[in-house]
Amino acid sequence: MSDTYPERSFDTAARRWAGVGPYYAMFPVSFADSAVREYTSTGDWVLDPFAGRGTALFSAATQERFGLGFEINPVGWVYGRAKLQTASRRKVENRIRWLGAMRSRYSSQAAKLPEFFTHCYCPEVRKFLLAARSLLDWRRCKVDWTTMALILIDLHGKRENALSNQMRQTKAMSPPYAIRWWNDHDLVPPDVDPVEFLLRKVAWRYAKGRPKLHKSRVYLGDSRALLGRVRKGPAGRGGKRAHLLLTSPPYHGVTNYFYDQWLRLWLLGGPAQPQSPREDCKRKFENRQDYVSILRAVFTKSKRMLTSGAVIYVRTDAREYTLKATAQVLEEVFPEKRLRHERHSLPSFSQTTLFDANVESAGDVDLVLW
């Protein structure tokens, strides 16, 4: 199977929702769609233990399959949950208006935010974001996780198309660097009405409606722990097992998903500055022993949820260590299966160099076991 990179089209509800959530190491939607079509049939289950923003699960759900995934980063989880279980446009719009009405209560808190926030957002946006941070029950409420996902998309990005001063959309820069850069370029936060801004974004997102999906689920947490609790298959009690494991594990030594998403994590209740978590699964995956251990644990527990004839399709980094370690773990966990490699060179940029220009990228490799 090979990737295709068609021109972006948003003529259906599924295409408008598939891309929800700027996130590092995203599957191309066309790639996930092709893999699901080629290796599963209607009604089959697709498993993704490193779900990211839920692209593989969403692809399964839009093609009359069922998706089950696990994601440890709350940012990716919110994106995935919002795509798989989307609230109605009317309820999301009402929630945004309500947050706008409540924002005046957060004036004093907005004035006390660290210096970065005054350089990044105008006063009305700061108050609105504090209201969203405090009032949205994004873990439990469909309206709130949908609303939060749509706010997170444009929390930072190009100045003319986001709530923030000029920033990357995918990665949040460190506060000292960002402040210096804005000062050097004489950039001040744009004067944005957050309610009007978000209502325009919502109108575009819902213009084709909501996609029709097969019931799918993404869980928030470490898949090493959660996979062990779902022992009877993706469907739950007495459920079936998955016919396809489609995933892309973190690449060795490339990026820290939590550090680089610190601003979106702040909106979800995290600290107001970038921090590197201590857990091995929330760092940059630089320790080789820890990296192999994580891969082995996840794929071993995933195997229990697969049919004997399931296909394992893993996209990984073409750099030597990540590729070698991933292939060895897969052959160790699935010794009964044959392994083939499919190399890809991305057309314009690589996931590896997106976050670290000093890391040489050799593209991606698909490891397919059947």
Query: Can you give the pLDDT at residue 33?
Result: 96
* Residue 11 identity: D
Residue range 16-32: average pLDDT? 84
- Bridge partners for 364 per DSSP: 317, 344
pLDDT over 60 at 23, yes or no: yes
The answer to whether the CB of 51 falls within 8 A of the CB of 240 is no
Q: Per mean pLDDT, which of 105-114, 234-243, 267-276 is the most reliable?
A: 105-114
The answer to whether the CB of 3 falls within 8 A of the CB of 56 is no
Query: Can you give the pLDDT at residue 275?
Result: 83
The answer to whether the CB of 69 falls within 8 A of the CB of 57 is yes
Residue range 317-329: average pLDDT? 93
Query: Can you give the pLDDT at residue 228?
Result: 76
Q: What would the CATH number be for the domain defined by 18-83+215-338?
A: 3.40.50.150
Query: Can you give the pLDDT at residue 25?
Result: 61
High-pLDDT (> 90) share of the chain, %: 75
For 259-271, write each residue's pLDDT tens digit: 889 999 999 999 9
Query: Can you give the pLDDT at residue 284?
Result: 57
For the chain, the structural domain boundaries read: 18-83+215-338, 89-205
Residue range 281-305: average pLDDT? 85
Tell me what the pLDDT averaged over the chain comes to: 89
Which residue, 198, 203, 264, 213, is CA-closest to 82?
213
* Residue 7 identity: E
- For the record, the structure tokens of 70 come out as 């696990």
Helix, coil or strand: residue 342: strand
Lowest mean pLDDT among 79-88, 172-181, 252-261: 252-261
Residue range 5-21: average pLDDT? 81
Binning pLDDT at 50, 70 and 90, where does residue 4 land? very low
pLDDT over 90 at 86, yes or no: yes
pLDDT over 70 at 7, yes or no: no
Helix, coil or strand: residue 343: strand
- For the record, the structure tokens of 370 come out as 């059947």
- Bridge partners for 217 per DSSP: 68
pLDDT over 60 at 244, yes or no: yes
Residue range 68-92: average pLDDT? 97
pLDDT over 80 at 58, yes or no: yes
- Pairing verdict, β 45-48 and 306-317: unpaired
Give the Cα separation of 305 and 236 in Å (integer).
11
**H or E stretch covering 306:** strand 306-317
* Residue 290 identity: D
Helix, coil or strand: residue 47: strand
- pTM, to two decimals: 0.90
